Structures are given as C-alpha cells and as structure tokens.
Structure 1
Amino acid sequence: MPDNTHSHDDHSDSCGCDLLHLLDGVDEFTHHVFPGNKELFHSLAHSQAPHTLFITCADSRVSPEMITQAKPGDLFVCRNIGNIVPAYGEMLGGVSAVVEFAVLALNVKQIVLCGHTDCGAMKGLASGAEATANMPTVQAWLRNAEAARSVVKTRGLDDDHIVQALVEENVRLQLTHLRTHPAVAARVAQGQLELQGWVYDIGHGKVTVLDEAHGKFLSLAEARARLRKRVEE
C-alpha cells in the first residue's frame, strides 16, 4: 500500500502557508492601511450607500475595486460563476435577492454587468455538457447562459474566437435577464436606473463597454467621451 503521509503533509503545509499569507495581509491592513483611512471606515461603520451594483464573475483574477479604483462603500458587488443573472422567476436565489436589495433598499443608480476574457464558465459552455459532467450544479447554472451559446453557434466562428464571442454575447444576454426583474424594470422605466455591460481584458488591463443601441463594444475612450458629452448636455 502506498504511503500518502508525505503528500498529505505537503498539502497541509501549503494550505497553512496560504492561510498565513492571508492573516499576514489582515495584519498589514489593520496596522498600516486602516489607520490612514480611519475616517472613511468610521463613516461606513453603521450604513452604506453604494452608487453601483457591480455584477461580475467569481474568477480570482477579476477585482472590481481594483479595476474601477473604487473606494469601500462605492460598489455593492455580486459575484458568481459566469457573471450570470437568471431571468426573473427562473432561479430565485442569491443573485435575484442581491439585485432586488440593491435596487429597492440601497437605491443604486447603476448596474454594471462585467464579463471577462478567458472565462472558465464560457469555456465550459463552449465545450458542452461533457466539460461539466461531474459538476451538476455548475451544469444547471450554465443553462442560464445557453441562449448565448445558441446565438454564437449561428456565426460559424473558428475555435479560437468562440470563447470571446461567448463572453460578449453572455453580457448581452444577462443584461436582458436583468430587465425581467420587476425592481429593475420599474426603475429603468422611471429613468432612475442605468444598466451597462462591460468586458474586462485580464491580460491587457482594458475594459470595453457595450453600446446596446448598436450591439457593439466600444473602447473605454469612446465610452467615456459619449458619457461625458451626455452629462454636459
């Protein structure tokens, strides 16, 4: 019988090092970061008023606060596999509750739905059911993005471009799903809520922004120029 003691110990040591690194980070925050931001955190101690609900993937490479340079208290963040928002009534649960709470209780003014390059969920979707055969919960969850796969399949793309096309189409689809939520639909109709779709390029640190009216993604410079012009009018 093989002796697995050594490999088990190695794994435990690795986990211990990772946890120690996290605890060291907390110590750094407590003693060096927090003191310089004490007034901000004191102002947030008993209430929050985020301006934006930021829905994105659970991927460890995506950091909403770092990407947007937002401060604590600015963003109400919802993360899940594939930045998915099930259509209202399809899968009532955590995401639906977050959306409802953000819109009706926190009165956010914007919802950003952010996909990203090299998305594992979209790779799984592209590969079909076999890729998630041993993950039934993930498989069921990805059905909420199935319409994006159907759209992309009609384009006859080569394999190198399918995942990126899915990333973008999934952003479009999840924005459509968002609008089926009663709280969102009502606030959008009243002009009190704006939705925007992004794709974050991990390798280049860039964000493209969906122009829903024309169905294409704009560079950050184009999106900023358009928004600035609208604000100034």
Structure 2
Amino acid sequence: MQDIIDGFLKFQREVFPARSALFKRLATSQKPGVLFVTCSDSRVVPELLTQREPGDMFVIRNAGNIVPSYGPEPGGVSATVEYAVAVLGVSDIVICGHSDCGAMGAISTCKCLDHLPAVAAWLRHADAAKVINAAGTYASPEAKLNALVRENVVAQLANIRTHPSVALALAQGRLNLHGWIYDIEQGAIDALDGSAAPQHFVSLAEHPHVCATRTRPA
C-alpha cells in the first residue's frame, strides 16, 4: 500500500503541476468520446493501452467485461451505460476482452463456483457465449479459452444493444460499437469486423478502421 501512497505523492508533486491546465478544465466538466467496457483484471489498463488523457474515456470495469441485458431492475453497469450514452453523448462504445481471462477461464473449465455465489451469478450473463463455446471442438484448453473470450465479447455486444439508450443512439446513427480482444503477452488487439459475413476478428493494427457495428461515418 505504501507504494500506492508514494505514487500519489509523486503525482501531486511532479505530474499535477505540469498539467494543471488540463485538470482545471476537467474540474467542472467532462466530455469523453468513448465508453470503454473492460475487465477488472489488473493487467488491463485502458488508458495505457489507448494512450488517452484524463477525461477522454468513460470506463466500466468488472469481472469478464460483462454488460447484463437491460432488465426491470437495472444495476450499476446499466446506469453507467445509460449515463454515458444519454447524458455524456459518447459516440463509440468499446467492449474489450483479454487473453488469460480468469472469469472466462472459470467458465471454460466448468470450475465449481459454489464457494463464490456472487461470481457464479454474475457470470451467468455470459451464458450465451458459454453455450456456443461448449458446442465447439478445440485443439487445446487454451484454444477453447481464447474462443470463449471472443464469443463473450460478441455476446456482450448483443447484450448492450438491449439497453434503450444504446438502441436509440444506434437507430439515430450517432453511435458505433466495437469489440476488442487484447493480447497481454503480445501487446496486440484483435477487433470484431461487423461488416464481414460471418463476423470475425482481425488485427486492429492492420485494420484500424474496423468496427463491430457502424451506424455513422468513421
């Protein structure tokens, strides 16, 4: 914990003064262009991956980068999605999974989660991905996990479309959806190409304009 405190003191002493104008502007307003949904995994740092500044992205992090379908009792994720789209007016939403995901690993190996009932209940929001993954054949457990990570991103993109604010923004052509997979070891991202039939993931470095669902010009 002392390392965390020391880091803040260094920020306050060295970083903040050099960027005081940015923080003064952000003190009273924010206008992020992107809602970034990713895993709580400590190895995934959205602002580092995308080289964004404070104020650039509205971020949701949870186990498995999950977005529950909209329901009669919306929770914190639903409220955050609604605020990002309806109030902040983000123009893009990214759902970003990653390699070696513990949440997806538990699903892939059918790990018993009786001792973690909250985790088990949360991961049921990935059941669509689980069923599709279970129906496939894979060369190795790692290949099965990698496939599930991808299927989960596709499933969460489907879930987020059920949110009224997202559905409206898509219908009005003012929102794009993106599905990403971050490879921790390689430092690479694969992105879902929604224009392909069937949809598949391609290298973002080679296809920087790829989009899962494009409703407005890039």
| The one of 203, 211, 216 aligned to 1:219 | 203
On the 8 A contact 2:193/2:210 being kept in 1, the answer is no
Q: Residue 129 of structure 1 contacts residue 139 of structure 1 at CA under 8 Å; is this kept in 2?
A: no
1:149 maps to a residue whose letter is: K
% identical equivalent positions: 48
Matched, 1:43 2:25: yes
- Whole-angstrom distance in 2 between the partners of 1:29 and 1:103: 31
Higher helix share: 1
The one of 123, 137, 143 aligned to 1:156: 137
**Which of the residues 187, 191, 195 maps onto 2:177?**
195
> What secondary structure does 1:56 align onto?
strand
Secondary structure of the residue aligned to 2:208 is helix
Q: Secondary structure at the match of 2:8?
A: helix
Contact map agreement 1:111 1:194 (CA 8 A) in 2: yes
Which segment is superposed worse, 218-227 or 30-39? 218-227
Could you report, residue by residue, the CA deviation over 1:54-86 in whole angstroms, capped at 9, with x for unpaired residues? 000000000000000000000000000000001
Q: Conserved in 1, the CA contact under 8 Å of 2:96 and 2:181?
A: yes
Aligned twin of 1:69 = 51
RMSD between aligned alpha carbons? 1.8
Does 1:83 find its partner at 2:60? no
Letter matched to residue 176 of structure 1: A
TM-score, normalised by the number of residues in structure 1 = 0.87
Counterpart pick for 1:141 among 117, 122, 126: 122
Runs of 5+ consecutive residues of structure 2 not aligned to the other structure = none
1:165-180 → structure 2 map (5 Å cutoff):
165-180=147-162
Number of residue-to-residue matches in the alignment: 212
- 1:107 counterpart = 2:89: yes
Partner Cα separation in structure 2 for residue 142 and residue 223 of structure 1: 31
Normalising by structure 2, we get a TM-score of: 0.92
> 1:64–1:23: structure 2 CA closer, same or farther, 3 Å change rule?
same
Distance verdict in 2 for CA 1:144–1:109, change over 3 Å: same
One-letter amino acid of the counterpart of residue 163, structure 2: H
For 1:203 and 1:129, locate their aligned partners in 2 and report how far apart those are by CA, in whole Å. Answer: 24
* 1:213 positional shift: 2.9
Tell me by how many angstroms 1:226 deviates.
Answer: 5.4
**Which residue identity is paired with 2:150?**
E
Which residue is 1:29 aligned to?
11
Tell me how far apart the structure 1 counterparts of residues 200 and 137 of structure 2 sit (CA, whole Å): 18
Q: Separation in 2 of the partners of 1:181 and 1:200?
A: 25
Q: CA deviation at 1:160?
A: 2.6
Change (3 A) 1:148 1:53: same
Unaligned runs of 5+ in 1: 1-18
Structure number with larger C-alpha Rg: 1
Q: 1:123 to 1:65 in 2, by over 3 A?
A: same
Q: Name the aligned partner's letter for residue 23 of structure 1.
A: I
Seen in structure 2, the aligned counterparts of structure 1 residues 91 and 81 have a Cα distance that, compared at 3 Å, is: farther
